[in-house]
Amino acid sequence: MAGSPKEAMVLVVDVGPLMAQAPPGHVTPLENAKDAISMLLQRKMFSQSKDEVALILLGTQETANELAGTDDESYLNITVARPLGQPDFDLLEFVKNDIVPGPVSADFVDAIVVALDLVRNQTMGKKFETKRIVLFSNLAGEFTDDQLEGVINGMKALECEFNLIGLSLDDDDENGDMPDQNGAGPPRKERTPQQRAGAALIRHVIVEVDGVAYSESEALQMLSFFQKRNVRAAPWKVMLEVGTNLKIPVRGFIRVKECKPNSFKKVHARTLSKDDIHTTHEHRLNDDEETPVESTIDGYRYGNTIVPFSTDDESQMKFKTDAKCFDVLGFTRADNVKRQYYMGDSVRCFVAEEGDEPAAVALSAFIHALYETNMVAIVRYVYNKNSAPKVAFLSPHIKPNYECLLCIMLPFMEDMRKYTFSSLHPNNKNQPSGTILLILQDKIRSPHPPMTPHQNVICISHELQCVSDDQLSAVDDLIDNMNLVMPDKDEDGKQQQYLKPKLTFNPHLQRLYQCLSARALNPDDPQLPPPNQTILNYLQPHQDLLTQAQPCVDKIKAAFPLEVVTKKKEETTAQNIFGGGDDAEPAAKKPRLDADAGGDGGLTMAGLAQGPVTEVGSVRPLEDFRAMIGRKDDDKFMEASAQLQKRIEEIVMESFGDQFYGKAMECLQALRKESAKLGEPDQFNTFLRGFKETLFNKGRKDFWDRMVREKVTLISSEESSETSVSKEEAGKFLEMAEQKTEEPEEMEEAEAEDLLAMM
């Protein structure tokens, strides 16, 4: 199978003394080159490219290359620091730490010859789409040009591309040097005659082999983002069928799909090894008897009945499809497929089977016919035998260099959420308020009386729907002044836009790569690097637009009365109650704690009859905890308290209102007492700090209030000599005002969505 196209790149870096010179306060050309190379290597690594990189230094004290020694004069002070291979952090570290200014100036033409030789030898037998030599030099050193034609012919023969980074060749010597337009680089010095001669030579090479030269600042700018990941395009080959008689062989490729960060693997903090850690799953019946995995069976709920459904049952009874399928069901007007119907996580792009010209013509006929009639095709999509069938639509996409059908999935009836929203229409006299409308509508739809309005419709008073002309014109001004389409056009006559998706990188991935790189090079630095300013900038509206639009914003502020509503306590509680994940897809739901299980404590005969308690269960956590720490044969305190901590959190979070707060408080107080008594205050204190945060974040401030009332705080040194927490600190812990609650409250999370995304 063909891999993705890869490149062999030889970086030739001039480390001679002339690269280490810079006007005071400016970075030397060598440092700039090192930065550019570092970025380049990181881009290659994080884009998961298969490209291979070699590194050659010229101007080193030593000489280490295969050509040296053939005669005594040539190829001196040139070091092959690294043969061709995939870039890694070792190479990056070498670039950062071990590329230092060398003592002598070496001949860059010689270095190119060495590079060419390396390309020739080390790419043999491997498949590289492109080969490239990149010279980082300001061309200030001496050179000989007797091998020039050999270099050019060699590049041509090897189909090797050539770039120079470090000296712009655009400026004409005769006009003198122009100041750097970007203003980013150091002010340019007058070029030396040596540099001009070098530039002339390289220009000759570049013209001959069709190469490109960049100034340092150009290169740095181009490299300042982490490159997007390379994904190998794997075609899905299928027949596009219309009826029984028309088959068009096509290939589909993913055109758009969210690029998610790689997943992290859990390791043991002490050894950083995956092998020292593993995850266990235990299955227990309510009486805490463990069920071996092989004795478990899957089931589904049918109301309050649980129906066992073995894997065999499931595979036997499940809906089956015969084979992959891409059949047209019919055609429909493009506006019948609304934007909000788009399903799935990707856009595929279908073209005719490679090399099949009749298929290409047939597909082209349909692409143009759909385009000209403003229609789309609705198709049945089955990826493979026994995959779930889907419905998708195909829309024509015509570009100067190619044409294709874009394919996006569509929803099933079950996927549609038909919610009712109240009217925003000010003049609709028949619907004085959304509530009545809803009742009427519901009456028609359902044999049952409607639900009370507050739960399924947001009532909008009539007054709020009326908007004056002044208010509309204030909004108009904002639209005029926050235009993301720039007035000027680019070279192709296209209107330039801010925030083009094609040019906007995912800030999370950029940040992740930045942190990965920083941590890889400095594993002991506990701080994450600050986010890259370039990224932070493009996450804010463009400064020019903001300045320009500020008067409009002020005008809107004046025209529209807006007032922050002081939060009512009830609302918070209601949120907690009704936001308890009812809408979450059941797949993501965890079994709830048995609501009846709480409250009653005390030892029971059943408890006594059981063997030693090994785990703090959810039914009688406190008893389990006491039993565990009371065991004479084994010190289970850490384990038991960790489990009880978890239970306390669960009880509070799952509590219906404050129903189980009493139970949680009882556990918490007991945990605190035992922790102090048994000399393990720090574990408790750590827990309590985190717990406090959790309570605020998860909207359980009412439990915190109870903790304050009951004075459940950190264990201080007065109570246990094992801790350094002072009494004052413990007292303050409860006082600390929490600002987070002032913010608009965190709403119900789309937890199901996220979980599904993770799976």
User: Which C-beta is closer to other proteins: that of 169 or that of 549?
Assistant: 549
User: Which C-beta is closer to other proteins: that of 19 or that of 640?
Assistant: 640
User: Which C-beta is closer to other proteins: that of 343 or that of 734?
Assistant: 343
**Cβ 304 to other proteins shortest distance, Å:** 4
Greatest Cα pair distance, the chain, in angstroms, is 102
Nearest of 138, 142, 127, 2 to residue 73 by alpha carbon: 142
**Mind giving me the DSSP string for 666-703?**
HHHHHHHHHHHHTT-HHHHHHHHHHHHHHHHHTT-HHH
Q: Identify the helix (H) or strand (E) that includes residue 752.
A: helix 751-758
**Cβ 666 to other proteins shortest distance, Å:** 22
User: Which C-beta is closer to other proteins: that of 253 or that of 623?
Assistant: 253
CA distance 517 to 92: 10
User: Which C-beta is closer to other proteins: that of 718 or that of 753?
Assistant: 753
**Cβ 426 to other proteins shortest distance, Å:** 8
Residue corresponding to tokens 């593993």: 278
**Cβ 295 to other proteins shortest distance, Å:** 5
User: Which C-beta is closer to other proteins: that of 100 or that of 515?
Assistant: 515
Neighbours of 649 (CB within 10 A): 19
User: Which C-beta is closer to other proteins: that of 453 or that of 662?
Assistant: 453
CA distance 106 to 114: 12
**Cβ 618 to other proteins shortest distance, Å:** 8
Distances (CA, A) of 258 to 279, 498, 509, 588: 29, 21, 11, 22
Q: Identify the helix (H) or strand (E) that includes residue 512.
A: helix 507-521
Amino acid letter for position 598: G
**Cβ 609 to other proteins shortest distance, Å:** 19
**Cβ 216 to other proteins shortest distance, Å:** 24
- Sheet of strand 212-214: strand arrangement: 78-85, 52-58, 7-14, 130-136, 160-165, 212-214
Bridge partner list, 485: 497
Contacts with 26 (C-beta within 8 Å, 6 or more apart), sequence order: 186
SS3 352: strand
For 465, half-sphere exposure in the C-beta direction (CA atoms, 13 angstrom radius) is 17
User: Which C-beta is closer to other proteins: that of 220 or that of 394?
Assistant: 394
CB 91 within 8 A of CB 41: yes
SS3 569: helix
- Specify burial of residue 79 (Cβ count, 10 A radius: 0-12, 13-18, 19+): buried
Distances (CA, A) of 547 to 337, 473, 477, 552: 39, 19, 14, 10
Distances (CA, A) of 600 to 257, 513, 662, 666: 53, 52, 11, 11
User: Which C-beta is closer to other proteins: that of 184 or that of 750?
Assistant: 750
Amino acid letter for position 408: I
Nearest of 212, 136, 230, 186 to residue 23 by alpha carbon: 186
**Cβ 759 to other proteins shortest distance, Å:** 11
User: Which C-beta is closer to other proteins: that of 21 or that of 694?
Assistant: 694
Contacts with 705 (C-beta within 8 Å, 6 or more apart), sequence order: none
CA dihedral for 195, 199, 205, 211, sign (positive or negative): positive
**Cβ 153 to other proteins shortest distance, Å:** 17
N residues, the chain: 759
**Cβ 67 to other proteins shortest distance, Å:** 16
User: Which C-beta is closer to other proteins: that of 342 or that of 384?
Assistant: 342
**Cβ 603 to other proteins shortest distance, Å:** 22
User: Which C-beta is closer to other proteins: that of 199 or that of 405?
Assistant: 405
User: Which C-beta is closer to other proteins: that of 58 or that of 695?
Assistant: 695
User: Which C-beta is closer to other proteins: that of 319 or that of 728?
Assistant: 319
User: Which C-beta is closer to other proteins: that of 24 or that of 355?
Assistant: 355
**Cβ 257 to other proteins shortest distance, Å:** 6
**Cβ 620 to other proteins shortest distance, Å:** 14
Nearest of 126, 120, 10 to residue 57 by alpha carbon: 10
- Specify burial of residue 391 (Cβ count, 10 A radius: 0-12, 13-18, 19+): middle
DSSP category for residue 641: H
**Cβ 254 to other proteins shortest distance, Å:** 6
CB 280 within 8 A of CB 268: no
Contacts with 303 (C-beta within 8 Å, 6 or more apart), sequence order: none
Contacts with 66 (C-beta within 8 Å, 6 or more apart), sequence order: 80, 114, 117, 118, 121
**Cβ 191 to other proteins shortest distance, Å:** 37
- Specify burial of residue 266 (Cβ count, 10 A radius: 0-12, 13-18, 19+): exposed
**Cβ 730 to other proteins shortest distance, Å:** 21
User: Which C-beta is closer to other proteins: that of 151 or that of 370?
Assistant: 370
